[in-house]
A = this chain, B = another copy of it.
Amino acid sequence: MKVVPGGGTAMSGPVLRKLQGFGRLDDADAAALAMLEAGTRPVPAGADLICEGDRPEGMIAVIEGFACRYRLRENGARQIMAYLVPGDICDFDSSVLNRIDHAVGTLSNCRVARVAPEAGRDLRSRPALARSLRTAALVDEAILREWIMNLGRRSAVERLAHLFCELLVRLRAVGLTFGNSYDLPITQLDLADTTGMTSVHVNRSLGELKRAGLIERTGRRLTLCDLPRLMDMAEFRPNYLHRERPEAA
């Protein structure tokens, strides 16, 4: 098993790792999750995992790569409403709603695990696990609110800066960061559809952040060179992610 930078083993399970950040899990909990992550399959970039109007069934866990929730307008405009990074679970709650109201697709090549409804119920029958899953869902909701703040009241550069800070914390939680940098395997068009802008303007705003010495991008690797200033300009307050030590590497 390959050792990855953040410590822990590569396939030791981003889901387990993430959920442990929300509360102690015992070996049986871990085993239950490992089971989940066993039946994993690769999905190429740009594929849909769920289409709008589908019936919900079970959960989908992202093990590797970036996916997103999104919706399209009739004119083709896309708005991304959430990122799903390794460890994130997208829970189409069983029997409660009977039609999905948004699509879920991959942004990069991914490995995902589909969890059947019964398996999901098994996981939730373990109290500690249920509690961590619930916390994770509440954090996802907090992220939605923060994105609303981002779109409504921040400028282009601030939106990007805020997004990059958020991703640093989220990826750190699953050991996918290298100091203040991480792989961001998405295009500028994806960033545009996330931040409600144009890819042209994303490009210019990224340039601005680079020129200010706040970020660097080489290939798909993003480095936050001056995290304090970046956080400051975006008014990034990691409290909404509800992690103990968001700044710890």
Contact = CB atoms under 8 A, between A and B. Distances in A.
Given A93-B134, A99-B239, A242-B97, A152 B195 contact: yes
A79 B149 contact: yes
Nearest to A194: B152
A11 interface: no
A2 B110 CA distance: 58
A47 to B, nearest CB: 21
Contacts of A152: 79, 151, 193, 195-196
Interface string A131-175: 100110011011011011101111000000000000000000000
Contacts of A153: 73, 77-79, 196
Interface of A: 69, 71, 73-74, 77-79, 81-82, 93, 96-97, 99, 101-102, 131, 134-135, 138-139, 141-142, 144-145, 147-149, 151-154, 193, 195-196, 235, 239-240, 242
29 contacts: A71-B145, A71-B149, A73-B154, A73-B235, A77-B153, A78-B153, A79-B152, A81-B149, A93-B134, A93-B138, A96-B131, A96-B138, A97-B135, A97-B139, A101-B142, A101-B145, A101-B239, A102-B142, A102-B145, A141-B141, A144-B144, A144-B148, A147-B148, A148-B148, A148-B151, A151-B152, A152-B195, A152-B196, A153-B196
